[in-house]
């Protein structure tokens, strides 16, 4: 039997922010998965059988009960993150002893996933296509940045002085914003947010999560993705 057959399978796209935060949570959980990197123009048939909608991340978990194997498919990034941290949360990213923290995390992440993601996409398009509304598009993003800046004036991370689920969930999208107009961002009035982001971008964790691996469809070689100190 292939020794890798017992690992969950994560279908991922290296630069997709949703796949990125799924990988971060798995890394933080110190669990191991088989990472199958792909490109959207060449999706593995195995992934499409498990998840016909064809977007990443997709986590396929095989469970054996009463001698029978069953497949659990997790198709949303937040659900992948929660699955990983339910398995293991050594850094207490869910703040289990603070009953108010988790609802606050979910509210913050939900707002950024809907409201901020929408204005961020318009900002990115304005830059990419050299549209005349670039500054206006950026300004629509700024209230969300200001909220994070104010949070970081009070504590080291977005929820408290301890890293949380919300930090790693928002990280890929703040990274995207910072890359749109790099020079403007570096001089923007959000020094605490810049420091927060830079700490992540310079971390061993981020280097591991963003490492470039061979595309799975090229050679179909299984790669175990796991925490490494």
Let me know whether 66 and 143 are in one domain: no
Which residues are within 8 A (CB) of 161 and not within 5 positions of it... i.e. 6 or more apart? 155
Ramachandran angles phi, psi of 70, nearest 5°: -130, 150
Cis, peptide link before residue 225, omega less than 30° from 0:
no
What's the CA gap between 168 and 172, in Å, rounded? 8
Let me know whether 111 and 180 are in one domain: yes
Let me know whether 117 and 182 are in one domain: yes
Let me know whether 13 and 87 are in one domain: yes
Let me know whether 76 and 48 are in one domain: yes
**Domain contains 191:** yes
Q: What's the mean per-residue pLDDT of the chain?
A: 95
Mean pLDDT, residues 141-147: 98
**Domain contains 87:** yes
Q: Residue 111: give its domain's CATH number.
A: 1.20.1050.10
**Domain contains 1:** no
CB 61 within 8 A of CB 84: no
Report the percent of the chain where pLDDT is more than 70: 95
Mean pLDDT, residues 5-15: 94
CB 177 within 8 A of CB 151: no
Let me know whether 155 and 217 are in one domain: no
Express each pLDDT in 202-218 by its tens digit. 999 999 999 999 999 99
CB 134 within 8 A of CB 126: yes
Let me know whether 45 and 136 are in one domain: no
**Tokens, residue 227:** 């925490």
154 has pLDDT over 60: yes
226 has pLDDT over 60: yes
**Domain contains 4:** no
Domain that holds residue 37: 9-93+207-225
Q: Count of residues for the chain?
A: 229
What's the CA gap between 46 and 44, in Å, rounded? 5
Counting the structural domains of the chain, the total is: 2
Of the given ranges (8-22, 67-81, 90-104, 204-218), which has the lowest mean pLDDT?
A: 67-81
**Domain contains 2:** no
Let me know whether 220 and 198 are in one domain: no
Q: How many helices (H) and strands (E) does the chain have?
A: 11, 5
Task: Determine whether 223 is exposed, middle or buried from the number of CB atoms within 10 Å of its CB (0-12, 13-18, 19+).
Answer: middle
**Domain contains 25:** yes
The residue whose two tokens read 């971060």 is 24
**Tokens, residue 58:** 């997709």
**Domain contains 182:** yes
CB 130 within 8 A of CB 67: no
Let me know whether 26 and 70 are in one domain: yes
Q: Residue 58: give its domain's CATH number.
A: 3.40.30.10
Task: Determine whether 25 is exposed, middle or buried from the number of CB atoms within 10 Å of its CB (0-12, 13-18, 19+).
Answer: buried
What is the pLDDT, as a whole number, of residue 67? 47
**Domain contains 120:** yes
């Amino acid at each position: 039997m292939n020794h890798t057959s017992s690992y969950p399978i994560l279908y991922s796209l290296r630069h997709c922010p949703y796949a990125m935060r799924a990988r971060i949570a798995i890394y933080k959980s110190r669990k191991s998965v088989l990472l199958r990197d792909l490109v959207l123009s060449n999706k593995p048939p195995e992934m499409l059988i498990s998840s016909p909608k064809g977007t990443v991340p997709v986590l396929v978990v095989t469970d054996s009960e009463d001698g029978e194997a069953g497949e659990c498919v997790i198709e949303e990034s937040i659900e992948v993150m929660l699955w990983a941290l339910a398995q293991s949360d050594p850094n207490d990213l869910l703040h289990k002893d603070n009953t108010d923290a988790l609802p606050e995390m979910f509210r913050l992440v939900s707002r950024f996933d809907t409201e901020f993601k929408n204005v961020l996409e318009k900002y990115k398009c304005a830059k990419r296509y050299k549209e005349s509304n670039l500054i206006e598009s950026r300004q629509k993003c700024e209230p969300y940045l200001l909220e994070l800046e104010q949070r970081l004036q009070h504590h080291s991370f977005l929820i408290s002085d301890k890293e949380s689920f919300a930090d790693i969930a928002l990280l890929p999208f703040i990274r995207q914003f910072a890359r749109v107009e790099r020079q403007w961002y570096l001089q923007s009035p959000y020094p605490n947010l810049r420091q927060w982001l830079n700490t992540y971008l310079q971390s061993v964790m981020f280097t591991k999560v963003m490492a470039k691996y061979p595309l799975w469809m090229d050679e179909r070689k299984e790669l175990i993705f796991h925490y490494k100190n």
